[in-house]
Amino acid sequence: AKLDIAESRLPQDGRMKLALGERQIDFRVSTVPVVFGERVVLRILDKKNIHLGLDAIGLEKELLEKLKTLLTKTQGILLVTGPTGSGKTTTLYSALKELDSSQINIMTIEDPVEYKLPHMAQIGVNSKIHLTFSTGLRHILRQDPDVIMVGEIRDKETAEIAIQASLTGHLVLSTLHTNDALSAPTRLIDMGIEPFLISSSLIGVLAQRLVRVICHSCKERYSPSDEECKDLGLEGDRPSLYRARGCPQCFELGYKGRMGIYELLVMTPSMRSVYHEEQDPVKRAAFAKNQGFISLREQGIRLVLNGITTVEEIVRVTGKGAV
């Protein structure tokens, strides 16, 4: 993983590959010093099991069409938000794959480059030689790009350059760490970006989470408890839901595989006005809902009612509280 084996006092990050026949498996290695030694975490990326493309990541039809429409725009910034490990990078690559890379100039700055895509110029961040997101992004703008993908907006400087690029004839795709789509503009303001720049440049925000799918081999029907009905916001007759007992097929976990749940905030002119004039997040959310916005929680509830995942999974990734 190219770590310094003689250094155990500092956190380190590395990467290594394992060849299993024709399969190439990537490992991200993170170490931190703790009281009794070093703590090591491995993140495993099996590219053979990941299928890129917006049609392959589980987007609902209406949301898929809206997202594809946003990708036809020639300028503006589209953000993908969610916690670490929620599939943001896969979604960004899927969005890039949707574009005709043989006809337009697509450039990326990533940390690290996870997938090599044809007809795209991909740059990997290297902090040892001071090649950061902001530095790389500045030089990308001199390469006459049509579409720019920034792996992550981590600081004010990167955010400012990305937004300026999106205002000068470039479509910019990037990720941001926020809990949901509605809070992304507020997060940019907290980073020091002027509100008028956000309302002028932001075209949409896609928030996502990954939920585990119920194992089909040990799936069983049951009647939900009062607390589960409350979590789902259900009133009146109780529907039958599904859970899994655990079996050898799923290693007794009750789940097999994962899928994404998504929410998409499209920054229409009316939505921009609300964000510019209204500071109350509750009122912003109410307006978005009136415009057809479907939250992560609501999409998750649909999956529960369709027997795809469980109440516990939706509560785990979206939290408890009102729907």
For the entire predicted model, the pTM comes to 0.90
Q: Are 262 and 299 in contact (CB under 8 A)?
A: yes
DSSP-derived letter for residue 3 is: -
Beta-carbon count within 10 A of 99 CB: 19
Q: What is the pLDDT of residues 118-165, one digit of tens each?
A: 899 999 999 889 999 999 999 999 999 999 999 999 999 999 999 999
Instruction: Classify each residue of 12-23 as buried b or exposed e, where b means 16 or more C-beta atoms within 10 Å of its C-beta.
Output: beeeeeeeeeee
Does residue 112 have a cis bond before it (omega within 30 degrees)?
A: yes
Q: Where are the domains of the chain?
A: 12-48, 51-211+258-318
Per-residue pLDDT tens, the chain, 323 aa: give them. Answer: 889 989 989 999 988 989 888 888 889 999 999 999 999 999 888 877 777 899 999 999 999 999 999 999 999 999 999 998 899 999 999 999 999 888 899 999 998 888 888 899 999 999 889 999 999 999 999 999 999 999 999 999 999 999 999 999 999 999 999 999 999 999 999 999 999 999 999 999 999 999 999 999 999 999 999 889 888 888 777 889 999 899 999 999 999 999 999 999 999 999 999 988 888 889 999 999 999 999 999 999 999 999 999 999 999 999 876 45
Q: What is the pLDDT of residues 265-281, one digit of tens each?
A: 999 999 999 988 888 88
Q: What is the dihedral of CA 153, 161, 170, 81, to 10 degrees?
A: 20
Residue-level pLDDT at 287: 94
* CA–CA gap between residue 299 and residue 314 (Å, rounded): 9
* CA–CA gap between residue 237 and residue 293 (Å, rounded): 26
Residue keyed to tokens 């036809």: 72
Residue-level pLDDT at 288: 94
* CA–CA gap between residue 183 and residue 263 (Å, rounded): 12
Identify the CATH number of the domain defined by range 51-211+258-318.
3.40.50.300
Element (H, E) at 212: strand 202-214
How big is the chain, counted in residues? Answer: 323
Residue-level pLDDT at 321: 63
Q: What is the pLDDT of residues 46-58, one digit of tens each?
A: 877 777 899 999 9
Q: Are 239 and 304 in contact (CB under 8 A)?
A: no
Which has the closest alpha carbon to 145: 96, 87, 200, 193? 96
Q: Are 310 and 214 in contact (CB under 8 A)?
A: yes
Give the relative orientation of helices 133-140 and 156-166 as an angle to the nearest 10 degrees: 20
Residue-level pLDDT at 218: 94
Residue-level pLDDT at 231: 85
Cα–Cα separations (whole angstroms), residue 305 to 44, 222, 285: 31, 12, 24
Residues 6+ apart with CB under 8 A from 83: 177, 209
Which has the closest alpha carbon to 60: 302, 266, 240? 302
* CA–CA gap between residue 277 and residue 297 (Å, rounded): 26
Residue keyed to tokens 């899994």: 244
